[in-house]
Amino acid sequence: MATEVKVTAHEQDLSGVASSGATTASEENEVVFDIRGLSVYYGEFKAVRDVSLAIRQHEITAFIGTSGCGKSTVLRCFNRMNDLIETARVEGEIDYHGIDLYGSNVDPVEVRRRIGMVFQKPNPFPKSIYDNLAFGPRIAGFKGDLDGLVEESLRRAALWDEVKDRLKDSAMGLSGGQQQRMCIARAVAVSPDVLLMDEPCASLDPIATARIEDLMQELKQDYTIVIVTHNMQQAARVSDRTAFFTTEVNELSDRRTGLLVEYDRTETIFSNPRDERTENYVTGRFG
């Protein structure tokens, strides 16, 4: 039976990390995810090959690239969401604070509690706003002040003032942008270490998108954020580091396999990339 010994043994270390705040710009933040030689298969098809990069604490890391290049597939490896796909198989190494994320004694459920996820389309539960926020802590056996936790989580998502008098109303009645911020608050409510965001603004208008981007900047003081975005301008605005992915023809089929082309500080990716493919993409000359 799988245990969560390794993950929970790191609890004290993580609590110290969460309270330490961001380091100065001249320092390199602690590595949260160290990915080495990551490949992902769906059955016999290699969807992503040989990805290596390090995700650092209290930073926003953006994944950009062509359609079907594996950005979301790689993102879902970080909280083992690909485990839920029957044909998916992961090769390579992903260390999370030095822990083998795919080790036999690591509980995937605990992984997903500590590494929260916000999806492209807001997915509120068909419950009240309050119960959406309280759901995760209740499942986790939270014994503290639930009202206070709900308020704090909504405040962190910059939503409290808009919904404080509507907590018993259905979350389905919120606007799209409010629903997405509520989903962020719901992820925050279980005290994660990392927030993964898979195109969180794709279905939102520019005003709602700007609010989510402002929120990400605030949240990175307490969390490590990895975002997949099709919007290069968004990556340039919000991220500290950017990874550019593209595709190549798979050697065993006419399908295309994703690969990481370049990973660096965002200003370097957009102003002085090393790889011609990156430059062509960010300048709009791709293809």
Closest CA to 33 of 112, 88, 104, 93: 93
Q: 8-31 burial by CB neighbour count: b if 16+ within 10 A, else e? A: eebeeebeebbeeeeeeeeeebeb
**Any idea what the CATH number is for the domain that residue 131 is in?**
3.40.50.300
For residue 78, being part of any structural domain is answered with yes
Q: Rounded CA gap, 60 and 224, in Å?
A: 6
For residue 242, being part of any structural domain is answered with yes
* Structure tokens that stand for 136 in this block: 């995760």
Number of domains in the chain: 1
For residue 102, being part of any structural domain is answered with yes
Task: Check whether 4 has a pLDDT greater than 60.
Answer: no
Summarised one tens digit per residue, pLDDT across range 127-163 is: 999 999 999 999 988 999 999 999 999 999 999 999 9
Task: Check whether 173 has a pLDDT greater than 50.
Answer: yes
DSSP-assigned letters across all residues of 3-28: --HHHHHTHHHHHHHHHH-PPPTTSP
For residue 262, being part of any structural domain is answered with yes
Count the residues in the chain: 287
pLDDT of res. 140:
86
For residue 169, being part of any structural domain is answered with yes
For residue 287, being part of any structural domain is answered with no
Give the three-state DSSP class for 29.
coil
Q: What percent of the chain has pLDDT over 90?
A: 76
Per the CB < 8 A criterion, the answer to whether 201 and 208 are in contact is yes
What is the rounded average pLDDT of the residues 35-42?
96
What is the rounded average pLDDT of the residues 38-45?
93
pLDDT of res. 251:
66
Q: Rounded CA gap, 126 and 119, in Å?
A: 17
For residue 108, being part of any structural domain is answered with yes
Summarised one tens digit per residue, pLDDT across range 203-257 is: 888 998 999 999 999 999 999 999 999 999 999 999 999 999 999 886 666 788 9
For residue 89, being part of any structural domain is answered with yes
Per the CB < 8 A criterion, the answer to whether 124 and 132 are in contact is yes
pLDDT of res. 33:
97
pTM value? 0.86
DSSP-assigned letters across all residues of 46-108: EEEEEEEEEEETT-EEEEEESTTSSHHHHHHHTTTGGGGSTTEEEEEEEEETTEETT-TT--H
* Structure tokens that stand for 105 in this block: 């004694």
pLDDT of res. 197:
96
pLDDT of res. 42:
93
Count of other CB atoms within 10 angstroms of residue 230 = 16
Q: Rounded CA gap, 56 and 67, in Å?
A: 25
Q: 243-253 burial by CB neighbour count: b if 16+ within 10 A, else e? A: bbbbbeeeeee
Q: Rounded CA gap, 140 and 34, in Å?
A: 27
pLDDT of res. 27:
63
Boundaries of domain holding 49:
5-282
